[in-house]
Amino acid sequence: MTNHSADVSENTSLIALDSRTLMYRYVGLFGYLGLLAWVCIWHFMLVQSQYSVTFILLLYVLPLLFPLKGIITAKPYTHAWASFVVLFYFMHGITVWYSIPEQWLFALIEVVLSSIMFTGCCMFAKLRGKELGQSLPKLKQVMEDEKQRFEGHNNE
C-alpha cells in the first residue's frame, strides 16, 4: 500500500512552472526573505527596543519562520496561508508609520516588503494551483452543484 499524499507531492513537483508562475514565485520569495531579514535588522540593529530579545523573536520573527520550508520548496498551499500571516507585518508597518514618526522609513520598508510578499504569494498560489488542477471551483459552478443536489433530494 502506497502513501497517496506522498505520490501526489512527488507528481506535482514534476509539473513545470509557467514563466508567469515562476516570476510570482520569485516575487513572493524576494518579499519573504526580504521581510524576514528586514524584521531582524530593524529590531536588532537599528533601534533600541524596550522589549526583550525573546519577545521580539516570538512576536516578530517566529511567525515568519512557520512558512519557511513550504515557501522555499514552492508549495502553493503554504504560499496561500503565508499571505494571511504577512498581513500582520503590513498592519504593524502602517501602525508604526503613523505612530512613531522617527521610524517612518523603517515602517515604510516593512509595508513595501510585506506588500511584495503578499502579492507574490497570492499570485503564485493561484497560478500554481491552476497548473496542478487544485484551484477552487467558480462560485457559479458551486451554486449549480448545490442546486442539483437539493433538487435531486426533493425529486426522490
Q: pLDDT value at position 16? A: 84
Q: Which residues of the chain have pLDDT under 50?
A: 1-11
The Cα diameter of the chain in Å comes to 71
Between CA 25 and CA 20 the distance in angstroms is 9
What are the residues whose beta carbons fall under 8 Å from the beta carbon of 29, sequence distance 6 or more? 71, 72, 120
Q: pTM of the prediction? A: 0.78
The gap from C-alpha 116 to its chain's centroid, in whole angstroms, comes to 10
- CB count, 10 Å around CB of 93? 24
Predicted local confidence at residue 126, as pLDDT:
92
Q: Specify the length of the chain in residues.
A: 156
Residue carrying C-alpha cell 516588503: 113
Q: Give the pLDDT confidence score for residue 5 in this predicted structure.
A: 41
